[in-house]
Amino acid sequence: MHPALSVILFTVASGIGYGMLMLLALFLPLAAGPADRLFGAVSLGLALACIGGGLLSSTAHLGRPERAWRAFTQWRSSWLSREGVLAVLSLVAIALLTLAWPILAAPVECIEMTAAIAGLLSAATVAATAMIYRSLKPIARWHNRWTVPCYLTIALASGGLWLDWAGAATGVDFLPRAVAPILVLLAAVVKALYWRHTDGLKSATTIGTATGLGALGQVRPLDPPHTAANYIMKEMGFRIARKHAAKLRRIAGGLGVLAPLLLVIAGGMVPALDRSAVLLAAPVATIGVLVERWLFFAEAQHVAMLYYKADAV
Amino acid sequence: MTTLPTPGAVRLGLVIDLDICVGCHACAVNCKEWNTGGNAGPLSDYQPYEAQPDGVWFNRVHSYEVGDGPAGQTVHFPRSCLHCDNAECVTVCPTGASLKRAEDGIVLINEDVCIGCKLCSWACPYGAREFDEDVGVMRKCTLCVDRIYDEARPEAERVPACVSTCPASARHFGDLGDPASDVSRMVADREGMALMPELGYRPTNRYLPPRAKGSGCSAHAKSPALEPVMPEGTGFLGWLDRLLSA
């Protein structure tokens, strides 16, 4: 599938923001005393910027962005519509949390309750994003049980690293030090299992079932219907990254997993470096996640390409 | 609404005879011509007079080689929307622009509502939907809904443009929900095929497989050599040949 930059930026950036909210909801009740307002302003500001920027970027993918509001109407059947509704609901909850925590410094219970609602809605939004892909039968690399866990664990890991970043920037220890590295490792394991599962997929759909001619013998494309690449070939048949998939997977693992883990360990061993290491870990890991998301699209193959290339899937 | 309607009794669709199709592309060309000037038009073209012309088409004709050796054959394969009963291109649509009509099963796009998110084209395994870059909306086969109900036309002409133009009569239009219809009987007689049945989209359109061929090239090899119709030589050598052959 063609890796559209607007969709890659949206899923990665909104994953960061929603991941931060999920962790704030979980760990705010564990914090001793009222939570730091400056940390709240920086972390919520960052989360809002990531989610808002991501949503804006996603509208760049649309042919008619001025009609985007219509996408809130079909939540009964469409995961894309559900994602839109949940994204707006969680934005409202995050705005209320921003009001309650850094702006008004409301009572702790009020902050924690708002954070819990925002965290739940955030988790639901990330799951809905993943379900858009999970529900597409023609794309076997997406239509499997590992897609949703990948999106959720990567959002949590990115959120953990960026919450630590906000903590380092404001001099507040919010998350216990082990949380972000454990979430990064968890995401790495889940993504590795995703790759293991999807690399071994054997599709029941072949050019034989696509044309119905399989019973007559091997089917080979002879003449294409048109001389230049059409929409289907450009959208479903993007192959550039696939040639370099193994190398890009190593780059994604190196930047998204190894680099942040090494930085956190180095920071733990040399206290003078700790702050800069944490400040560096989140952006480096995010570059890794961007590569991972690029691969998520570029490695995915659509059965419609079978009509053009018998071995496409 | 993008939830699918309860399937009605009428399921309009096409039956395409792969035994007869000669791969002339007339159906694709007339489809483009009709629809670019009809209700769905214009269908955008990009760089139509350059080396790499591209554009929106509802119908594309592939050609395949099937089988090997004497059993091998060329099969021409027109590909367009199959108007599925379980049309997931409709259910994924976030705006309600994609719809399946309860009264005749035709899958349509309301282009005034479509936001051009392209998700429906991802959900279609048959590659039947094409994005129109100039208009910013998705396009697809309408089963010529603006022809088949046009009472100003003589009844014989109320068929999709691709069916009306096929010079080999390889394309047939009718109600596949009615077991007594001509198309349904054709499907029953010839074991008409659904494409990618394993994905569960339950397409309406059917393809009739190529008929079993004779014993192929070996039949020709055994046929007796033809008698020469002209004397094999002229002049002195010809006279000698005829004299000695006698």
pLDDT digits (tens, 9 = 90+) for A106-120: 999 999 999 999 999
Mean pLDDT over each residue of chain B, to the nearest integer: 91
Per-residue burial over B173-184, b = 16 or more CB atoms within 10 Å of its CB, e = otherwise: bbbbbeeebebb
Answer CATH for B12-220 from 3.30.70.20, 1.20.58.410, 3.40.1390.20, 3.90.1150.10: 3.30.70.20
User: For B104-118, what is each residue's pLDDT tens digit?
Assistant: 999 999 999 999 999
CATH 1.10.10.10 fits A5-307, yes or no: no
pLDDT (mean) for B203-219: 80
In this predicted structure, what is the pLDDT of residue A93? 98
pLDDT band, very low/low/confident/very high, at A241 (cuts 50, 70, 90): low
SS3 B184: helix
Test B53 with A227 for CB contact under 8 angstroms: yes
**Pairing mode, strands B206-208 and B12-17:** parallel
pLDDT at B2: 73
- The pLDDT, as a whole number, for residue B95 is 96
Q: Work out the minimum CA distance from B178 to partner chain A, whole angstroms.
A: 23
d(C-alpha A4, C-alpha A63), whole Å = 13
Residue type, A268: G
pLDDT at B229: 66
Instruction: Please tell me the predicted confidence (pLDDT) of residue B3.
Output: 82
Contact in structure between A17 and A166 (CB atoms under 8 Å): no
Give per-residue burial for B108-145: e unless 16+ CB within 10 Å, then b. bbebebbbbbbbbbbbbbbbbbbbbeebbbbbbbbbbb
Look at A63 and B75 and tell me if their CB atoms are within 8 Å.
Answer: no
Q: Which residue is associated with the tokens 């009963």?
A: B85
Task: Report the pLDDT value the prediction gives residue B182, as an integer from 0 to 100.
Answer: 97
A56, with CB counted inside 10 A (0-12, 13-18, 19+), is middle
Q: Is the pLDDT of residue B217 over 70?
A: no
Instruction: Say how many C-beta atoms besides its own lie within 10 A of residue A103's C-beta.
Output: 13
Tell me what pLDDT residue B104 has: 96
Instruction: State how far residue B234 is from chain A, nearest Cα, in angstroms.
Output: 47
Residues 160-199 of chain B with CB under 8 A from chain A are 193-199
Collapsed DSSP state (helix, strand, coil) of residue B23: coil
Q: How many CB atoms lie within 10 A of CB A188?
A: 20
Is the distance from CB of B153 to CB of B71 less than 8 angstroms? no
Q: How many CA atoms lie within 13 A of A117 on its CB side?
A: 16
Residues of A in contact with B196 (CB under 8 A): 205, 209-210, 303
Please, what is the Cα angle at A26 between A20 and A31, to 5 degrees? Answer: 100
- Residue B85 CA to residue B99 CA, distance in Å, equals 11
Are the C-beta atoms of residues B55 and B44 closer than 8 Å to each other?
Answer: yes
Read off the pLDDT band of A92 (50, 70, 90).
very high
Average pLDDT of B17-37? 96
Q: How far is A64 from chain B (nearest CA, A)?
A: 5
Which two structure tokens, joined as six digits, stand for B25?
């592309």
Instruction: With a cut of 90, say whether residue A153 has pLDDT above it.
Output: yes
- Residues in B closer than 8 angstroms to A71, CB to CB, are 94-95, 115, 117
Cβ distance of B196 and A136 shorter than 8 Å: no
Contact between A108 and A34 under an 8 Å Cβ cutoff? The reply is: yes
Whether residue B208 has pLDDT greater than 70: yes
Cβ pair A74:B200 closer than 8 A: no
B185 Cβ contact list (under 8 Å, min separation 6) = B179
Q: State chain A's mean pLDDT as an integer.
A: 94
Chain A contacts of B82, Cβ < 8 Å? none
* pLDDT level of residue A221 (50, 70, 90 thresholds): very high
Tens of pLDDT, residue by residue over A60-71, are: 999 999 999 999
How many Cβ contacts (< 8 angstroms) between chains A and B? 214
| pLDDT category of residue A199 using cuts at 50, 70 and 90 | very high
pLDDT average, residue stretch A75-79: 96
Q: Could you tell me if B121 lies within 8 Å of chain A, comparing CB atoms?
A: yes
Could you tell me the pLDDT band of residue B218, with boundaries at 50, 70 and 90? low
Instruction: Tell me the chain B residues in contact with residue A79 when contact means C-beta distances shorter than 8 Å.
Output: 92
| CB atoms A205 and B196 under 8 Å | yes
Task: Mark yes or no for CB contact A303/B196 under 8 Å.
Answer: yes
